[in-house]
């Protein structure tokens, strides 16, 4: 089934000018970019976006990092987009990353891992609504 997912290009990747490379890889792998947006997380939005992680030991480090620079958000579409994009993004943990995944190619650390992708269909709907509140899904 055709579905939408959300990709965020994180501050470490935007600061290193990897936006074009990352988006090119996304398109070369058959995902259609429906919307693009650059923005900066503020505390209210980042708190909503990462609410499920509140209270975890990495929460403050993650939210501080995500507010540290520009984010590029891409609303993407493809057959089974959520699991497909998650595979393309790669694992959070460096030792588990497969070659040629976005995190293998562009991540700096476990937190500064270049990109975020929605991990479930429900999370994709929630995250897209937060980042693209005017989105009208078919």
How many folded domains does the chain comprise? 1
Does 62 map to a domain?
yes
User: Does residue 125 fall inside a structural domain?
Assistant: yes
Residue 31 lies in a domain: yes
Tokens coding 7? 């990709």
Identify the active-site residue in 18, 53, 116, 123.
116
Respond yes or no: is residue 121 known to be catalytic: no
Could you tell me if residue 127 is inside a domain? yes
Domain limits for position 7: 2-131
Report pTM. 0.95
Examine residue 70 and state whether it is found in any structural domain, yes or no.
yes
pLDDT in tens, the chain (138 residues): 899 999 999 999 999 999 999 999 999 999 999 999 999 999 999 999 999 999 999 999 999 999 999 999 999 999 999 999 999 999 999 999 999 999 999 999 999 999 999 999 999 999 999 999 998 654
CATH code for the domain in which residue 78 is found: 3.30.70.141
């Amino acid at each position: 089934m055709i579905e939408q997912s959300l990709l965020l290009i994180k501050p470490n990747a935007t600061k290193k000018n990897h936006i074009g490379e990352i988006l090119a890889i996304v398109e070369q792998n058959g995902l259609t970019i429906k919307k693009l947006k650059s923005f900066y997380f503020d505390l209210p939005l980042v708190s909503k976006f990462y609410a499920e992680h509140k209270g975890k030991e990495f929460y403050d480090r993650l939210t501080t990092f995500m507010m540290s620079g520009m984010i590029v958000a891409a609303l993407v579409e493809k057959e089974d987009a959520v699991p497909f994009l998650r595979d393309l993004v790669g694992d959070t943990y460096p030792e588990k990353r497969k070659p040629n995944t976005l995190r293998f190619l562009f991540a700096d650390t476990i937190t500064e891992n270049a990109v975020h992708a929605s991990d479930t269909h429900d999370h994709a709907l929630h995250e897209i609504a937060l980042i693209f509140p005017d989105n009208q899904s078919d």
